[in-house]
Homo-oligomer: A and B are copies of this chain.
Amino acid sequence: MVVSENWTEATPGRGTVDITLTAQAVVARTDVVEGLCTVFVHHTSCSLILCENADPAVRRDLETWAARVAPDGDPAWEHSSEGPDDMSAHIRSVITQPSISIPVRSGRLDLGTWQGLYLWEHREGPHRRKVTVTVID
């Protein structure tokens, strides 16, 4: 059996949004006890990560790192139709994940103690991001 549900996440601009509980709520509604949950974002300038969920400095450091490795407004980028954060957002999306699959165990996402599921918005401005959760058992 495959059940899926989607929602729109309003992001306040660049940064990580914890969507663990929203995904968990979808899993709960499916009544699946043991299975697999796949999360997917329908965009090319935001992405998914599983990241340490205790210290917010970890996500701040990820931004620092991304700014160094895939900087905004780099003169090498040919594509900049939507501004200096356009191409850098595409790069950051490509090197993280558009989909992540997480085991479901005892009716819950079987994440490690320190694992949070984050939607990483790579654009500077607020966006509406569609996320689909698919649960299989």
Contact = CB atoms under 8 A, between A and B. Distances in A.
A50 interface: yes
Chain A contact-residue range equals 35 or more
A61 B43 contact: no
Given A4-B34, A4-B105, A137-B2, A100 B100 contact: no
Contact of A70 (B43, B57, B65, B93): B65
B102 A50 contact: no
Interface of A: 2, 4, 6, 34-36, 38, 40-45, 49-52, 55, 57-58, 60-62, 64-65, 68-70, 76-79, 81, 87, 90-91, 93-103, 105, 110-112, 114-115, 130, 132, 134, 136-137
